[in-house]
Structure 1
Amino acid sequence: MPTDTATRAPLLGEPLAVEFMNTIWADRSGVHDALTTADEVAAWLRASPQIPGCADGELRHWLAAASTRDLEETGERLRELRDSVRRLAAAQTSDRRERAASPIADILRAVSIVNHATAQAPHWSRLDWHDGVEPSHDIQTGSKTSTAITAGIAEQAIHLFTSEQRHDLRACMAPGCVLYFIKQHPRREWCSAACGNRARAARHYQRHKAGDRTH
């Protein structure tokens, strides 16, 4: 049974599709995948934003009952979908960071994987409207939770890449970073304050190094 560990993936408060891209992350020791093991898959699903088509209670129940094999199989599908979404993100942002490159090089294959994931779990909107309460809706599906997970994330990726929000998607260009973020403020340049500090330190070093060469 998977343990109740915390995810190693950075959670930056981004939309679900972007948080999903960022399950590939990096530090000084290299590039890491936060969806490698059954424990890591469970940890990220527990910590991730709500997945359309997967009610919180339903997902928690599935995670509590899922076997290691269930999570490993879900992890395989998630990693393939994640690599496809990162390939599309690279195309959208003209991202040429070598460390961030997806193993899926072909855009058409990436699109096919995303579309296949959404097709596996047909879903529909359910309207809630009670006296004295504003109308609301949620997304439901009759599919297995493991299938609904990848379908819901793929649906969010499609929404991102087909909405105006895609123009605000950015690759963080701080030294060594492989993350993506949504530029929600005109002055935002980096995925996090830590990356901003690294980038400024690198610029400062390069200026001083250039100055030393001129003397």
Structure 2
Amino acid sequence: MGPLAFEIAATIRHDGQGGVADGLATVELAEAWVQANASLVGEVLGRSFDASLLVVDDGVREQLVGVRRAVRSLFARAVSPALPSKADASRLLDPAAALRRLNEAADKLGTAHLDWPEEGEPVTRWSPESSDPLDLLVGAIGRSGIDFLAGPERLRLRACPAARCVKYFLQDDPRQTWCSPSCGNRERVNRHYQRKHAGQALASDL
């Protein structure tokens, strides 16, 4: 698993049939995502997050979709001038609007405090202004997005250029172009087919 913001961005993915699947398309899917990522929320909060305290309804789902849109919009800015993910390139927020949305989400988390156990390293823990689990969830996503985009990992962020892929990924090697070997293989086959088809078309015109 990656950072929390990366995981919510990944809820937009290829459906395996040439289309796009939305991992937050229904209340049930949104609830499953919250349950699956409770540990990452806890990492941001610095303490455990009890996902069972949050009743996921359409309002919660809409808030998750909204903060995801901000995250993916800023991911698109981060990979520029390369093309962003094709999944939602036409629905991205203006960067200024995306920044406001992400900062508003993070504001729900409250204030950063320093915690330094007698036998341990100093760490940042968030002191929330609210105990509302939705505020904690949305705030944690916002904070995760800010930390990711302001940190060194942002420089590794890429949008997979494969024809049917919609993923953002973290580049492990400067030579890495695709999010996975399967995308690379599929794209090479696709390019070979296109070159062969173009060559046959040219020959038929002669």
Q: Report if TM-score (shorter chain) is over 0.5.
A: yes
Q: 2:171 aligns with which of 177, 183, 205?
A: 183
Greater shift in the superposed pair: 81-90 or 92-101: 92-101
Matched, 1:116 2:104: yes
Which amino acid in structure 2 is aligned with residue 127 of structure 1?
D
Of the candidates 43, 62, 80, which is equivalent to residue 76 of structure 1?
62
Distance in structure 2 (CA, Å) of the matches to 1:154 and 1:65: 20
Residues 44-84 of structure 1 show CA distances to partners (whole Å, capped at 9, x for unaligned) of 1222361211734x32xxx3343343xx3222111111111
What percent identity do the matched residue pairs reach?
A: 30
1:36 aligns with 2:25: yes
Match of 1:50 in 2: 40
Higher mean displacement: 29-38 or 73-82: 29-38
Q: Report the Cα distance in structure 1 between the residues aligned to 2:78 and 2:124, rounded to whole angstroms.
A: 29
- Offset of 1:179 from its aligned partner? 1.2
Correspondence 1:91-130 to 2 at 5 A: 91-94=77-80, 95-101=83-89, 103-125=91-113, 127=115, 129-130=117-118
Gap regions ≥5 residues in structure 1: 1-12
Change (3 A) 1:192 1:155: same
Query: Using a 3 Å threshold, how does the CA distance of structure 1 residues 194 and 44 change in structure 2: closer, same or farther?
Result: farther
Matches within 5 A, 1:139-150: 139-142=125-128, 143=130, 144-150=132-138
2:143 — aligned with what?
A: 155
Question: Would you say the 8 A contact 2:54–2:134 is kept in 1?
Answer: no
CA contact (8 A) 1:87 1:102 kept: no
Q: Judging changes above 3 Å, is the alpha-carbon distance between structure 1 residues 199 and 100 closer, same or farther for their aligned structure 2 residues?
A: farther
RMSD: 2.3
CA contact (8 A) 2:30 2:56 kept: no
1:18 aligns with 2:10: no
1:46/1:128 Cα in 2 relative to 1: closer, same or farther (>3 Å)? farther
Q: Which amino acid aligns with 2:192?
A: H
Preserved CA contact (<8 Å) 1:118 1:150: yes
User: Is contact 2:85–2:168 with CA below 8 Å preserved after alignment?
Assistant: no
Aligned partners of 2:145, 2:79: CA distance in 1, in Å?
14
Question: Shift of residue 207 of structure 1?
Answer: 2.6
Whether contact under 8 Å (1:123, 1:140) holds in the other structure is yes
| Stretch of structure 1 that moved more, 74-83 or 186-195 | 186-195
**Which moved further from structure 2: 103-112 or 121-130?**
121-130
Gaps of 5+ in 2: none
Task: Compute the TM-score of the two structures, normalised by the length of structure 2.
Answer: 0.82
Q: What's the TM-score, normalizing by structure 1?
A: 0.79
Aligned equivalents of 1:41 and 1:173: distance in 2? Answer: 27
Displacement of 1:126 after TM fit? 5.2
Instruction: Give the one of 173, 176, 195 matched to 2:183.
Output: 195
How many Å separate the matches in 2 of 1:97 and 1:135? 39
Say if 1:136 and 1:193 are closer, same or farther in 2 by CA, change over 3 A. Answer: farther
Contact preservation (8 Å) 2:115, 2:124: yes
- Structure 1 residues 46-55 or 75-84, which shifts more? 46-55
